Amino acid sequence: MSERSTFLYGGNVHANGIRQHYLRYGGNDGERVGRDPVIVVPGITSPAITWGFVGETFGRTFDTYVLDVRGRGLSSASDALDYGLDAQAADLIAFAAALGLKRYSVVGHSMGGRIGIRAAAARPEGLARLVAVDPPVSGPGRRAYPSKLPWYVDSMALARQGMDAQAMREFCPTWTEAQLQLRAEWLHTCDERAIRESFDGFHTDDIHVNLSSLAIPVLLITAERGDVVHDADVEEVQGLVPHVEHVRVPDAGHMIPWDNEPGFYRAFGSFLGATLTTI
C-alpha cells in the first residue's frame, strides 16, 4: 500500500506588497496539533515545487509551507521588483503574518538560510526556531561563493527555450530522473534578474553582522562534501551564536536532501519540537 500524500494545496497571499505563492503539506490536525508550523525557504533557483518531496516528509510531522521566493515559481516577478536580501527577509516575515501563524519555525536552504538569518535578526513576533541549511557565508572581504553565475544563467536560458531531463543532466549529473524532470519543467520560472541580484548579494551582503542578534534556537546543517561552509566557517558562526547547534550531513554536497535525503532528515533530530516521521 503506497504512502498517502501529505500535499494539501497551493495558494497565494498578498504580503509585503507582492503575491507570494506557497505549497502546503500536512495541515494542522492529528499529532500535528500543538506543534509549531514550519516554513521552508528554498535556494536561489529552487521554486517551491522542487522541494515538494521534502514538503511531503515534513508534512507527516508538521503543518508545512514551502515558499516561492519572489522572482521564482509563481510568486511575483517584475523588472522593477527589489530582489535584495532585506526585501526577501521582509517577505518571509509578512508571509507568516498574512497566514496568521502565531508561532512558527523556518527552515532555509542556501539563499533561504540567509533569508532566514536576516529575518530572525529582526526578531519578528512568532518566529520560534531557525534552521539554516548550508547557507552561503560569502560576503564583503570574504571568499567567493563556490558556484559560478554562468551555471545558473546558462541552464535558465535553456529552460526558457524548453529543455528535457536529459539536457538538465549536464547541470545536475547526480540527480534522479524525476528530480531532473521537475527542474527542467520549472527552472524557466526563475527571473534572471532575481538570480543575478541574489548571486551578487552573496558577495555584497554580509549575514555575519546579523548572527549575534539571533536570540532564538538555531540549528546549522552543513554538507560534509560541500564547499560552501568550511570547518572554520562553522567555528566563526559558533563564536557569534554560542547557542547554535551544528550537524554535518555525511555523503552530501550542497544540495543535501538530493544527495542524502535520510541523512538530511536525521540532522534535525527533535530540534523542531518533534522528530521527523519518515517512511
For 207, phi then psi, to 5°, come to -80, -15
Amino acid at 222: T
Q: Tell me the C-alpha distance between 47 and 279, whole Å.
A: 24
The mean pLDDT of the chain is 97
Q: Which residue has the cell 518531496?
A: 53
* 3-class secondary-structure state, position 2: coil
Contact 37, 105 (CB under 8 A): yes
d(CA 278, CA 125): 30
pLDDT of residue 1: 35
- Predicted pLDDT of residue 226: 87
Q: What 3-state DSSP class applies to 81?
A: coil
Please name every residue paired with 107 in a beta bridge, in sequence order, or none if there are none.
Answer: 40, 131
**Residue keyed to cell 563564536:** 239
Residue 164 has pLDDT above 80, yes or no: yes
Output Rg (C-alpha) for the chain, integer angstroms.
17
Average pLDDT over residues 258-263: 97
Residue 201 to residue 84: CA distance in whole angstroms? 7
Predicted confidence at residue 57, as pLDDT, reads: 98
Q: Quick one: cell of 114?
A: 540567509
| CATH class of domain segment(s) 7-147+207-268 | alpha beta
Cell 500535499 locates to 7
Q: Helices H, strands E: what count in the chain?
A: 11, 8
pLDDT, one tens digit per residue, over 20-34 is: 999 999 999 999 999
How is the chain split among helix, strand and coil, in percent rounded to 5?
Answer: 40, 20, 45
Sheet of 104-109: strand order equals 7-15, 18-25, 64-67, 38-41, 104-109, 127-133, 218-223, 245-249
Looking at residue 218, what is its pLDDT?
Answer: 98
Is residue 175 scored above 80 in pLDDT?
A: yes
- Residues 112-141, mean pLDDT to the nearest whole number: 98
Q: Looking at the predicted structure, is the pLDDT value of residue 267 above 50? A: yes
pLDDT digits (tens, 9 = 90+) for 55-108: 999 999 999 999 999 999 999 999 999 999 999 999 999 999 999 999 999 999
**Interval 131-143 mean pLDDT:** 97
Residue range 174-179: average pLDDT? 95
- Average pLDDT of the residues in 264-269: 98
Task: Report the C-alpha gap between 137 and 114 in whole angstroms.
Answer: 9
Asked if 238 and 223 count as a contact pair (C-beta separation under 8 A), the reply is: no
Rounded distance, CA 26 to CA 40, Å?
13
Residues contacting residue 220 through CB under 8 Å, at least 6 positions apart: 131, 132, 135, 229, 234, 237, 244, 245, 246, 247
Does residue 194 register a pLDDT over 70?
A: yes
With 90 as the cut, is the pLDDT of residue 3 above it?
A: no
Q: Residue 279 above 90 pLDDT?
A: no
Burial class (CB in 10 A: 0-12, 13-18, 19+), 152: buried
Assess whether pLDDT exceeds 50 at residue 121. yes
pLDDT exceeds cutoff 50 at 140: yes
Look up cell 535525503; give the residue: 261
Is pLDDT above 90 for 276?
Answer: yes
d(CA 39, CA 24): 9
User: Residue 2 — pLDDT band, cuts 50, 70, 90?
Assistant: low
Average pLDDT over residues 177-196: 97
